[in-house]
Structure 1
């Protein structure tokens, strides 16, 4: 089942970890009721997409080059605990809630996005595979972790918005399709979709 997005505007900022800073714009999006489970990119779709099958841990499978880049950019990072609400809301998605994989820039290589904990912060990071085994990190969001009875937890969950999702843009709501896979970040129905366009991630606010 597909979601329909209604994009109404743009404005904002995202950060690429490294020498480049990436500009991000925000928009408002209305979507149809939540979709059913999305197909896993790594298992069911895009024969041309090169996938990584190196599971570092049962809960957060990451390729070694990404682990190295994360260690360089985010010292002492770790996998965050999630609130019960985030876990419940992520049910029904095959790729959720910690890591999602897809082709975010259309080069047929597998990219990924994850949420991590660094100190008291929750950080959402996308890793684009620019060459075989070479990744560039993009920081999509940073927020303070939720303090639940003394335990720091993330109230967010990730899921994949697939290539080809129907989009309706502007006042005329002209229809187009998402050019690439996109990273979706959910929190109690106030979701944000990050599309890679023109060399940067652009964020669109989502309402169900």
Structure 2
């Protein structure tokens, strides 16, 4: 009589085992889904240290030495310019404080107000950062040098229970003047005007 081959495969699962395996697979699927929101965004590019550049909403102090009429506190307008008395609009968007001061000096010379003006410019208040999505109190918060994603979220009450907490979406105006959205980690450094979007988990 011919011997039957012996199969040494994996034994079939019991009904209880099948239910457990199905539950584990479902849990993994849900876990993968909750972390995939926004994961396809391009990662935040590495930043190189550099001087701060002015933008709409920054509050600055302009000091024109030897002329108190032109010295005062001003806000960078929506068009990226400072409206200065006797001078008019001076574009400062994207310039450093040093470059903006030289720009004002040039405007003073071109209007024959000074032969050799001397101007200093300092930032009083930075334009805010905006934090939206799954946080306790979404909205704008004042920017502070060295602010990270996590510290910005903390200022609006922290993550809520539905939040993806390992990364966020971060929208920033690039040098081309266009808004670009990235995936950023909790320790990513922010810039004034950034918009942080905290994603919602899918379960």
TM-score by length of 1: 0.21
Rg larger in 1 or in 2?
Answer: 2
Using CA pairs below 8 Å that are at least 6 residues apart, which structure has the higher relative contact order? 1
Between Structure 1 and Structure 2, which shows a larger proportion of strand residues?
Answer: 1
Between Structure 1 and Structure 2, which shows a larger proportion of helix residues?
Answer: 2
